[in-house]
Amino acid sequence: MTHTLADTATTIQSTLQGWNLSEGWAMFLAAVIHVALVAGFFGLPAGIFIWAERKISGRIQDRLGPTRVGGKFGWLQAIADGGKLIQKEDLVPEAADGPLFRVAPYVVVVSSLAALMFLPFSDGWIAVSLDIGLYLMLAVMSLEVIGVILAGYASGSKWALFGGMREAAQMVSYEIPMSICVVIPIITAGSLNLNEIGGLQSGHLGNWIIFHDPFSFLAFFVYFVCATASCKRAPFDLAEAESELVAGFLTEYSGFRWSFFFLAEYASMFAVCGIAVLLFLGGWHTGIPGLDGILDGPRYSSDSFVWTWLANALGFGVFFGKASALVCVQIWIRWTLPRLRIDQVMMTCLKYLVPISCVLFLGAVIWPLALSYTGKTTIWGTPTGERAAPTMRLESTPNPADRLPTASTSNGETGP
């Protein structure tokens, strides 16, 4: 039913094997092709959102932004910047720890890039479909902190060290309310599989998890704030606080190493906005009742590959549009709000957001219990069909143990 990138990899691999390549080499080449695809997509958000940021920030500041490179709207400005940065001199400061200084950008890039592997861009358009996809995505994104600390330390300057330590403290602290807010849609959906969570929000707008109960509604906003903080975006951007710390942990980085950090930042912005869209805003579904029903037909039946692919491509467009809208909101917030001090940042997290997210979590857990006394499972009625979450179905709660193999294969005893 779902056509993951892994399935495509196996078809490419079997094609290559048909050309008389050995199995190991065929698998390796198929993997290389797919890594190239995902890495290409890693550069795409960066290219688009760098241009979008310059244009939006220009308009907010009552100026035009780039207008020369590539026509009237400056489409190719990001590529021109990339070209300029590549040909810059590769500087490594003398007081810097050489190997660690060179490795730090790669740690940050790898963690952002790996997070894109677990994100479904449409139904089944996912590189690695794991049942614990969301958990693993959060785990991989939390590795970015190590790259930031290494960059701050290995630069060999005190501005970089202070900036790196502050940044690391901020990123680690904001993981807590972020994770608590992420658990709320998981409870509603009953699964950690991002493909499944996105899939069950089809149908009308009320099926979106953000409209499921008021606690999920507030959880979206708390998650968005925490995601903005964990991407080091303003108003939490002390790493790039030019007025305070020169440039924080990026002080000694120039040329293409610097651009690696920004590629990683825009990719992780897209990744966290993608998670927000999947968990709260309906994923790749449009929310228009008739249209979702029409599109879900070819998506879930594998009769015609072309229609399935077209329906999924439309879903990809919807997903990308929603995630880009959220990224544009983040850009808008950056150029509107002033920067917070480090103590204000930590206080916001530990004194306000953590208790708020704990209360929301408690509310979201009690809500289905309270609602069951009225006989309904959601306030919009009961979602029907096999795509509905198991926690929302009105029939007797399915025994989760039924989903496991009955373990009766070897000597014929009955299962649990």
- Please give the residue ranges that form the binding site for another protein (CB under 8 A): 23-24, 27, 97, 99-100, 103, 130-132, 135-136, 138-140, 142-143, 145-146, 149-150, 153-154, 161, 165, 168, 172, 175, 192-193, 400-401, 403-405, 407-408, 410-411, 413-416
In the complex, the smallest distance separating the C-beta of residue 142 from another protein, rounded to whole angstroms, is 3
Whether residue 120 has a cis bond before it, omega within 30° of 0: no
In the complex, the smallest distance separating the C-beta of residue 175 from another protein, rounded to whole angstroms, is 8
In the complex, the smallest distance separating the C-beta of residue 28 from another protein, rounded to whole angstroms, is 9
In the complex, the smallest distance separating the C-beta of residue 17 from another protein, rounded to whole angstroms, is 13
In the complex, the smallest distance separating the C-beta of residue 167 from another protein, rounded to whole angstroms, is 12
In the complex, the smallest distance separating the C-beta of residue 329 from another protein, rounded to whole angstroms, is 27
Buried b (16+ CB within 10 A) or exposed e, 359-380: ebbebbeebbeeeeeeeebbee
- The values of phi and psi at residue 253, to 5°, are -95, 135
In the complex, the smallest distance separating the C-beta of residue 266 from another protein, rounded to whole angstroms, is 21
**Spatial separation of the C-alpha atoms in residues 186 and 190, rounded to whole Å:** 6
**Spatial separation of the C-alpha atoms in residues 96 and 157, rounded to whole Å:** 8
Look up residue 226 and give its two tokens. 């925490």
In the complex, the smallest distance separating the C-beta of residue 82 from another protein, rounded to whole angstroms, is 29
In the complex, the smallest distance separating the C-beta of residue 195 from another protein, rounded to whole angstroms, is 11
Half-sphere exposure of 296 (CA within 13 A, CB side): 20
Task: List the helix and strand counts (H, then E) for the chain.
Answer: 15, 0
DSSP characters for 350-407? IIIIHHHHHHHHHHHHHHHHHHHTTT-SSTT----STTS-TTT-SSSPPPGGGGS--S
Neighbours of 279 (CB within 10 A): 28
| Phi-psi category of residue 13: left, alpha or beta, with phi > 0 → left and psi -120 to 50 → alpha | alpha
Nearer to another protein, 24 or 71 (CB): 24
Nearer to another protein, 193 or 228 (CB): 193
In the complex, the smallest distance separating the C-beta of residue 27 from another protein, rounded to whole angstroms, is 6
Nearer to another protein, 14 or 304 (CB): 14
Would you give the DSSP letter of residue 250?
G
How big is the CA angle at 307 (ends 302 and 309), to the nearest 5 degrees? Answer: 85
Nearer to another protein, 161 or 222 (CB): 161
**Spatial separation of the C-alpha atoms in residues 78 and 262, rounded to whole Å:** 12
Nearer to another protein, 27 or 76 (CB): 27
Nearer to another protein, 272 or 326 (CB): 272
In the complex, the smallest distance separating the C-beta of residue 99 from another protein, rounded to whole angstroms, is 8
Nearer to another protein, 304 or 408 (CB): 408
H-assigned helices in 19-143: 23-60, 77-86, 98-115, 133-141
Nearer to another protein, 123 or 175 (CB): 175
**Spatial separation of the C-alpha atoms in residues 294 and 69, rounded to whole Å:** 42
**Spatial separation of the C-alpha atoms in residues 407 and 262, rounded to whole Å:** 50
**C-alpha closest to that of 283 among 292, 274, 291:** 274
**Spatial separation of the C-alpha atoms in residues 250 and 263, rounded to whole Å:** 13
Collapsing DSSP states into helix, strand and coil, what is residue 79? Answer: helix
Nearer to another protein, 134 or 295 (CB): 134
Collapsing DSSP states into helix, strand and coil, what is residue 209? Answer: helix
Maximal C-alpha separation, the chain: 76
Nearer to another protein, 31 or 48 (CB): 31
Nearer to another protein, 161 or 275 (CB): 161
